[in-house]
Amino acid sequence: MIKRITAAVLALLLGVCAAGCGEKTDGDSGKKADLTSFYDQLANKFGWADTYMIDLNDEMLDSSYPGLRQIASGQLVAKMPQMSSVVNEIVLVECASEEDAQRAAELFRSRIDDQANGGAWYPDSMEAWSNAQVYTEGNYAAMIASAEHQDEIGSEFTALFA
């Protein structure tokens, strides 16, 4: 029990410390984005066949992103490789408010920290996770952890709102 409380406090502190670092925010442009279409374009561009990336089911979402399903009020796209040693996890969410998007971003930062600090097991995977980014754009939030396409996907996500 003490370990869980300590872990929760540390995660909260890391989230507060990271709030000003590593997050890309350009404010609310008022634009709407079709997150499924955006993901489908990525899958087509990078050759992710239907069998490569899978949807995170409710159990996987609750385990990796506890509380996210309670925040999401619109679109939710959460994908990871079915079987791969390459880090490639993408979560895109539309929330009811900017405050909710910030809450989702905190959950995303916690996931990144957990994976980068040993949860990903392998040194290369932990390194890739340490480069993962959280993005918020108005009511939208995204977590992109991609060893091969990190910067490109992040740029394309923010371009949806330009």
Strands annotated E in 2-108: 23-25, 53-55, 72-81, 88-95
Name the more confident of 22 and 129: 129
Task: Please give the Cα distance from 157 to 23 (Å, whole number).
Answer: 13
User: Tens of pLDDT along 3-17?
Assistant: 333 333 333 333 433
Percentage above 90 pLDDT, the chain: 66
User: Tens of pLDDT along 103-113?
Assistant: 999 999 999 99
Q: How do 88-95 and 140-146 pair as beta strands?
A: antiparallel
User: Tens of pLDDT along 82-96?
Assistant: 877 789 999 999 999
pLDDT, mean of residues 25-32: 56
Domain ranges of the chain: 2-159
Q: What is the model's pTM?
A: 0.79
DSSP labels, 104-142: HHHHHHHHHHHIIIIIT-SHHHHHHHHT-EEEEETTEEE
Residue with tokens 């079915």: 82
